[in-house]
Structure 1
Amino acid sequence: MIRKKNFLIITLFFALLVNGQEFDLNNIKIDDVKNVLQGVLGKSKKVNKDWSGIPGDTSFNVSDRIAIKDVIDAYGFYWDSNNLKGYLSLFTDDAVGVNYNSKGEKITVKIKDNRQMILNKERMDYFETNSMQRRHMMANTLVLELTENSAHINQYMTLLNTNKSSESLIVTPILYVYKLKKIEGIWKISYREINLDRPLDLEIKP
């Protein structure tokens, strides 16, 4: 019993150091230990306040950041492996896509519209048929906004293309603008904007 109490005291002490909280060590309750440990492990049921949007501010949900990064990385992997089903699973049902044509005109589409899904399949088939391996090399991520259920980020990406397994070229650097929503505990893309530094080798059809 004494060992158990000593263990709880030591555990609470280190947890307090991490959380920067103060308790009366002469009046420790088991609920105090549970609450502090839940806070350290990110399991608290309390609603997290919205992140300030200031780079370097640590008051954000780490699990959300990791999950959002997973979605953005999966975006590139699914497209590059011609996995249309997986690619579309990353978006909300009403997700909007924005890009700009060679004249700089803004084009807005519904990503899960039947026509868009057909065009995406044709695009994937074209690259596969012509032995053009795309690689979305995700780089810098700037989080602009993060709440419990929504996020807004800018994402740098370099698009590579390898022709017939022989020559690899940089197609263009891209700035993606993503907005995401958390739906039933899963982060999904609700808005995606593509900003090219130079035109693609195969223009995106509207």
Structure 2
Amino acid sequence: MADDRTAVEPTHLPPAAVEPLRTFVIDEPAGGAGFDCRDRLAVKHVVDTYALAYDNYQADIWFDLFTEDAVFAVGVPGQEQIEQSGAVFRDFWRDRMSTFKNAGNQRRHLMSNIVYLEQTEATMHISVVGLLANTANGRTFAPVAALNYEGWLVKRHGVWKINRWHDFPDGQF
């Protein structure tokens, strides 16, 4: 497997596909071993770094997990879904991290499950669920949301990066 090849981009989704993942199909039996475990471990590391970098307000590290042309879709029940990319994506999330930090909030993304829905040598489609918690000013702990992420990653020059990410928590914050 050549690490210097350019990955094939994931297919762009039709608008109707931009919604929370509620059912899924995997490309092999859940217990099957027909995959490259190094790639899955690398993608798990991307997901774990996503949580830690965001929670520690390290925007540059967090943004480095995404391709330059990444699309970030977000939506909560009862509100319009939004897709962001480029400078709009980066400016919005950098500002959001700064706002939480300056307000004395400490967020924690507790990523509990990763299901690898589809994997090739250069692309991966995953589902991630977890819990988002917040501690305000070091005193008040509260669960914020049940997380429901879906990601499409690409391998470029031996490094896995997020090319498309759906952030659809189960309820409003």
Q: TM-score, normalised to structure 1's length?
A: 0.69
Could you list the runs of 5+ residues in structure 2 that have no partner in the other structure? 3-25
Aligned counterpart, 1:195: 168
Letter in 1 for 2:104: S
Identity among equivalent pairs (%)? 30
Alignment partners' CA distance in 2, 1:119 and 1:96: 13
Q: Which residue of 2 aligns with 1:116?
A: 89
TM-score, normalised with respect to structure 2 = 0.82
Question: Is it true that 1:105 corresponds to 2:80 in the alignment?
Answer: yes
Q: For the structure 1 residues 106 and 166, does the alpha-carbon distance in structure 2 shift closer, same or farther, using more than 3 Å as the test?
A: same
Among 23, 26, 29, the alignment partner of 1:54 is 29
Which position in structure 1 is the counterpart of 2:13?
Answer: none
Give the aligned partner of residue 69 of structure 1. Answer: 44
**Deviation (angstroms), 1:116:** 2.3
What aligned pairs does 1:80-99 form with structure 2 within 5 A after superposition? 80-99=55-74
Task: Please report the RMSD computed on the Cα atoms of aligned residues, expressed in angstroms.
Answer: 1.7
Which structure features the higher share of helix residues? 1
Tell me by how many angstroms 1:72 deviates: 0.4
In 2, the alpha carbon distance for the partners of 1:163 and 1:121 equals: 19
Q: Is the 8 A contact 1:92 1:189 kept in 2?
A: yes
Query: Structure 1, residues 80-110: CA drift from partner, whole Å, max 9, x if none?
Result: 1111100000001111111125534221111
Q: Of 78, 93, 98, which residue of structure 2 is paired with 1:125?
A: 98
State the one-letter code of the partner of 1:191. R
Distance 1:123 1:170 in 2: 18
Contact in 1 for aligned 2:72/2:89 (Cα 8 Å): no
Structure 1 segment 115-154 matched on structure 2, within 5 A: 115-154=88-127
Deviation by residue 1:162-200 (Cα, 9 ceiling, x = unmatched): 011011110010110011000000000001001111112
Specify the SS of the correspondent of 1:168. Answer: strand
Contact (CA 8 Å) 1:53, 1:146: kept in 2 or not?
Answer: no
Shift in Å at residue 52 of structure 1? 4.2
Letter in 2 for 1:105: E
Query: Contact 1:102 / 1:199 at 8 angstroms: preserved in 2?
Result: yes
Distance 1:118 1:108 in 2: 13
Change (3 A) 1:53 1:159: same
Q: Counterpart of 1:156?
A: 129
Q: Report if aligned partners of 1:101, 1:107 keep a CA contact under 8 Å in 2.
A: no
Segments of structure 1 that go 5 or more residues without pairing to the other structure are 1-43, 46-50, 201-206
Q: What's the CA shift for 1:155?
A: 0.2
- Deviations 1:113-133 (CA, angstroms, capped at 9, x unpaired): 223222212111111111100
Q: Aligned partners of 1:106 and 1:129: how far apart in 2?
A: 26
Structure number with bigger Rg: 1
Higher relative contact order (CA 8 A, sep 6+): 2
